[in-house]
Structure 1
Amino acid sequence: MTIELSPDALAGLLEQARKEYQNLAGCGLSLDLTRGKPAPEQLDLSNALFSLPGERYTSADGTDLRNYGGLQGLPELREIFAEALQVPVGQLLAAGNSSLELMHDCVVHALLSGVPGVESRWVDQDRIAFLCPVPGYDRHFGICERFGIEMIQVPMTAEGPDMDVVERLVAEDPAIKGIWCVPKYSNPTGITYSDATVARLASMSTAAPDFRIFWDNAYAVHHLTDTSVEIADLLAACAEAGHPDRTFVFGSTSKITLAGAGVAFFGSSPANVEWLLSKSAKRSIGPDKINQLRHAILLQDTDGLRTHMERHRALLQPKFDAVARILEAELGGSGLAGWTSPEGGYFVTLEVPEGCAKEVVRRAAEAGIVLTPAGATHPYGDDPRDAVIRIAPSYPGLDELEQAIKGLAVCVRLVGYERQSR
């Protein structure tokens, strides 16, 4: 990545970077790019939820949704999301507002009760491990860390996790019980898993008979271009390969409607669905079906969901375009950085010279630009190369975002040239 410079040229560039940083630090900025939250304008797209469902309180089949029951969730809402999540309606559950909660529950239930097809519980094993493609999602890693589950890093490629590494590890080690996957517009790289990767995940041999793929399809409908990128159907592929229970599919409306008041989904084989329902029945008599009805009325059908997401795209795409434009103008050809150009999702991954990410984040914070901590994209908060920075463009206004990315570029130049001058 680094371009070789003469001592005089490097000294000049470093001096210029120091002046730019002094000017930046004097601007009194207070900008936050830490998390991929929907902007207020995106949340406004779903404000109709506050007046829904009006006087209506029954489902399409006449069920009174004000009462107990309905643990599987509202059928008409499950019908809207079945296509996007690639799960048959009868094998899809609609739950509370958090897919992360469902992932957490699945880990807990596997620990305490085991999963279908085996008699042993995970908690009774001497060692439990998960494969973690990196860069990845910090909240996945947080679940593992909470329960003492060992995390094994797997490098990401342009087609998803390095399947040569995945296949070797799961075949050799029966302690490896799962893998975290964000298969479409992956957090934070924007990578979408190829058909070949999906096929290999479905058919690979695993030493653990209770191995599970945690398929977090968080960005299933979050496109940023005219082309709607699609992925192969993992649930169907696993069934065809003779591993019908291998996959847990997760999704939610968190970045579709109201982030704090949406609906989460779980899909899997009939055996896994019955397993989760039987465990969930011990802690809940049913989800908030009135909120699910609100969502069904707002979105109406799969075409309504697509139309709604086009409105999101109209707000998000200019921000992602601005990030790409500014990074190219400020850092293109410098040899100091590379970055992703996602076709969907919520993040841009910035890669800086090895050993520089933490210092770039620190300098940015001192200048009033707060970023996700360097290392958050890796298990235990430790990026071995200290090179990856996650950019979340969604929440700030366009003017603030442009300020923040320009300021971030100043910090990258300063830290990069300081390192070269040592």
Structure 2
Amino acid sequence: MTAAQDPQAALRAAHDAYEEFAQRGLDLDITRGKPAPEQLDLSAELLTAVTGDDVHSPSGVDARNYGGAEGLRELRELFAPLLGVPADQLLAQGNSSLTLMRDALTFALLFGTPAGGAPWVEGRRAMLCPVPGYDRHFGLAEALGFELISIPMDDEGPDLEAVRQAVADPAVKAMWTVPLYSNPTGVSMSERRARDLLALETAAPDFTILWDNAYGLHHLREPHAQPLDALGLAAEAGRPDRVWEFASTSKITFAGSGVAFFASSPANVDWFLEHTAAGSIGPDKLNQLRHLRFFGDPEAVRAHMERQAALIEPKFAAVERALADGLSEGSAASWTRPHGGYFITLRVAPGTADRVVKLASEAGVKLTPAGATHPYGLDPEDAYIRIAPTMPSLDDVRAAAEGLVACVRLAELEAAAAS
């Protein structure tokens, strides 16, 4: 009888393979989608893009001084076509789009929105959360007192019928979405699904979609999708205030020193600026000027992102190759093959994701906690694992992926032996 025919022999072989991996003494972290040092080096010239005697924008704005709440006009004009939004409806702000999401939600909680209705803090409030999804989205909404409602995803985006049923409840105020190369599956929303979501009848007149275009420029391979004109589609549907769109250069230039953007209807932009004014006398225009000079025009941004892709696509390919070589036969595992973004989603045998993560950690490879892809950190299937291959070196990514395969095989066989 071969090991493949003998479950106990297969389990012993899997355990031996895992032990061999664990003895390598690795110390790798693939928990979050951080840019690698080589990616950050591509933007080194940002540090010298503004000098002490040249601090004015092309239109004459002194970037050292107060004011300019909308952000530098020229930078907004540069990124508007890349994001597919009108420059007049785009704000350039601080370094974090997550901070802008928090601010917008806080303003809605305290003051309500231009779409009508009472401040959201009054009474029960719920947020729709497409799953698998982004843990920081879920954590922010939970911290602000929203009830989190899971919405399944399909190949076109959030499941339309599930959303339709959920928004019949007036307490459902908003929904997260990552429309292009979603975190963590890499799914891109279709225009048809976007049109349907933006046109939905909702019980709450102020139902809002938080449109996080975090990966709109992060293509890995052809063919690649293009950002959808969410603001235009919402206006066509007669619901111009339904979308708050967010983006940033955090994974384009320096992750801690980029520029974040907010785009929406004219009414929502005025609303956001009105409430921001109470706590800010303007964003960091020197950093915006650095970005403006570093890039110069939209084509330079696209070329920069091609250089980014050349650095990280081999890491995605290495993970996919290791998974295919180790798990294509005799395993219940499946995984995504994204055309952009920062993540690969691995779906393992139900009931084993937490065990895989623990095995990997004990062997020196840190993964995002099992369940992070779902609201409250609870994956009811215990099946989803997010892989973030960008930060480590290519050799380390290969080693981590090979070890991950050993962890998946061992966890599967342990579960089968216990059943």
Same fold (TM over 0.5): yes
Alignment of 1:40-59 (within 5 A): 40-54=37-51, 55-59=53-57
Question: What is the distance in 2 between the residues matched to 1:45 and 1:416?
Answer: 41
Aligned partner letter, 1:43: L
Could you give the per-residue CA deviations for residues 19-56 of structure 1, whole angstroms, max 9, x where no partner exists?
A: 11111222211111100000000000001011121232
CA RMSD of aligned residues (A): 1.2
C-alpha displacement of 1:147:
1.5
Question: What is the distance in 2 between the residues matched to 1:352 and 1:56?
Answer: 55
Equivalent position to 1:140, from 118, 137, 141: 137
Partner SS for 2:272? helix
Percent identity between the two aligned chains: 54
Kept after mapping to 1: 8 A contact 2:3/2:9: no
Aligned to 1:80: 78
Partner SS for 2:195? helix
Kept after mapping to 1: 8 A contact 2:21/2:363: yes
Question: What is the distance in 1 between the residues matched to 2:90 and 2:19?
Answer: 54
Aligned partner letter, 1:16: A
Could you give the per-residue CA deviations for residues 55-92 of structure 1, whole angstroms, max 9, x where no partner exists?
A: 32111111212111000001111111111222100000
Q: Does 1:205 align with 2:184?
A: no
Kept after mapping to 1: 8 A contact 2:83/2:227: no
Question: What is the distance in 1 between the residues matched to 2:262 and 2:79?
Answer: 11
C-alpha displacement of 1:376:
0.4
Aligned to 2:102: 104
Question: What is the distance in 2 between the residues matched to 1:333 and 1:164?
Answer: 35
Partner SS for 1:123? coil
Aligned to 2:280: 284
Q: TM-score, normalised by structure 1?
A: 0.97
Aligned to 2:243: 247
Question: What is the distance in 1 between the residues matched to 2:300 and 2:8?
Answer: 57
Question: What is the distance in 1 between the residues matched to 2:192 and 2:364?
Answer: 44
Kept after mapping to 1: 8 A contact 2:95/2:259: yes
Kept after mapping to 1: 8 A contact 2:248/2:260: yes
Question: What is the distance in 2 between the residues matched to 1:241 and 1:46?
Answer: 40
Aligned to 1:162: 159
Question: What is the distance in 1 between the residues matched to 2:282 and 2:142?
Answer: 29
Partner SS for 1:122? coil
Aligned partner letter, 1:188: P
Aligned partner letter, 1:212: T
Could you give the per-residue CA deviations for residues 111-165 of structure 1, whole angstroms, max 9, x where no partner exists?
A: 01111132510111x2100100000000000111112200000001011010111
Partner SS for 2:16? helix
Aligned to 2:17: 20
Pair 296,123 (structure 1): closer, same or farther in 2 beyond 3 Å: same
Question: What is the distance in 2 between the residues matched to 1:43 and 1:287?
Answer: 23
Partner SS for 1:421? helix
Aligned to 1:343: 339
Alignment of 1:112-151 (within 5 A): 112-124=110-122, 126-151=123-148
Q: Does 1:10 align with 2:10?
A: no
Equivalent position to 1:307, from 295, 300, 303: 303
Aligned to 2:360: 364
Tell me whether 406-415 or 59-68 shows the greater mean CA deviation.
59-68
C-alpha displacement of 1:307:
0.5
Aligned partner letter, 1:241: A
User: Structure 2: 5+ residue runs without aligned partners?
Assistant: none
Q: TM-score, normalised by structure 2?
A: 0.97
Aligned partner letter, 1:153: S
Aligned partner letter, 1:163: L
Question: What is the distance in 2 between the residues matched to 1:254 and 1:248?
Answer: 19
User: Structure 1: 5+ residue runs without aligned partners?
Assistant: none
Aligned to 2:58: 60
Counting matched residue pairs gives: 416
Equivalent position to 2:268, from 258, 269, 272: 272
Pair 289,84 (structure 1): closer, same or farther in 2 beyond 3 Å: same
Partner SS for 2:121? helix
Tell me whether 380-389 or 331-340 shows the greater mean CA deviation.
331-340
C-alpha displacement of 1:228:
2.8
Kept after mapping to 2: 8 A contact 1:194/1:231: no
Aligned to 2:259: 263
C-alpha displacement of 1:8:
4.1
Aligned partner letter, 2:37: P
Question: What is the distance in 1 between the residues matched to 2:322 and 2:313?
Answer: 14
